[in-house]
Amino acid sequence: MGDVPVNIARLFQLNRARFSGPVVTVGPPSAATAFEPSYRVVLLHADAQLGAGHSHHVEARQGDGDNLAKRARHGVQHSAVPSTRLGHSWHSDFANNAQVRAAPKRQILAMSNRKVALVTGANKGIGLQIAKDLVALDFIVVVGSRDLERGLTAARVVGPGGHAVQLDVTDVASIARAEQRIRADFGRLDVLVNNAGISYSGDPAASFEDKVNTGRPSTASLSETRAVFETNVFGVIAVTQAMLPLLREAPAGRIVNVSSTVGSLALQTDPANPFPFTSVTYVPSKTALNAVTVAFANELRDTRIKVNAACPGFTATDLNTFRGTRSVAEGARQAVRLALLGADGPTGTFSNDDGIIPW
């Protein structure tokens, strides 16, 4: 155990005006620092960076930063979170290892002004970049991943503010558990990015050409078609429905569905289109996703929630065996923009970096 440096003042937010509670002590009994009852230390994140040798951050506000920093410098200690549990049950891990005694985690995070976003399929590719970009904008981001270990790894890559949750968008029970976890741990959800998607359900090592051929209208199997739609369409509906209660509670909920211009019927039927796609799997799944986007946007039009679809462009990911010509940083840009829309922003749109895409 070693002393946490003075920049611990960025892990906690001091909030005296909005919450009253018992004395908070930080550190082991031998070195704990007691904060007056008139103060409240708010845990923003305990993000498993301790295991990698990074210090947690605390933030003191409302003019008491110097006082809190002095106390933290003289009294706060921590120990590393075991690497096998990084990102999992963060509150109990941090409380057990750093011996933080504070309000329940839901109350703690609810007191923070930081927005919370869930990005599905965020353990790699465009989803991972979206998560990075949102954390850089001071969001708390929940990395949704079918494989929790991969999600935990991604959360560490995302950095402070990144958290992992096991989430299989084709599994109703998994979706329900993820919603319960977000509600319990964060108490809010401001942004949902439905990024998870597949172009092919078979061998991941298959060539790009083989993946494309499985979708040919004359030969595509119904099982393959159902598998693609299960993730790209039904998964989006299921996750959105599950997260809507939280999003309705948010001051300005945002839903971003990651779609593709290949789903544009206007473009696919344009005789001038040099690259028409012949597919009954991935391509029409994105057309259906666009219709789902419009349906949710219409239903929620009189609420504070905005629902839009973003096309990342032909981005190099394993979806296309890295044939894409755009970087993930470029591919994430439009989804992030839509996640940040203000109250006067649009809803029910389909766009990319160049502007509106015809349905």
Q: Which residue numbers are catalytic?
A: 282
Q: Which of 156, 176, 33, 5 is nearest to 99 (CA)?
A: 33
DSSP 55: P
H/E segment holding residue 142: strand 140-145
First to last CA, the chain: 58
Distance between CA atoms of 130 and 257, rounded to whole angstroms?
A: 12
Largest CA distance in the chain: 76
Q: Residue 315's beta-bridge partner residues?
A: 326
Q: Residue 257's beta-bridge partner residues?
A: 194, 309
DSSP 85: G
Q: Could you count the other beta carbons within 10 Å of the beta carbon of residue 326?
A: 17
125: left (phi over 0), alpha (psi -120 to 50) or beta: left
Q: Scanning the structure block, which residue is given the tokens 């075991």?
A: 82
Q: Are 172 and 235 in contact (CB under 8 A)?
A: no
Q: Are 179 and 244 in contact (CB under 8 A)?
A: no
Two tokens at 13?
A: 């937010």
Phi, psi of 252 (to 5 degrees): -155, 80
237: left (phi over 0), alpha (psi -120 to 50) or beta: alpha
Distance between CA atoms of 313 and 328, rounded to whole angstroms?
A: 10
Q: Are 127 and 193 in contact (CB under 8 A)?
A: yes
Q: Which of 197, 198, 185 is nearest to 142 (CA)?
A: 185
Q: Could you count the other beta carbons within 10 Å of the beta carbon of residue 350?
A: 22
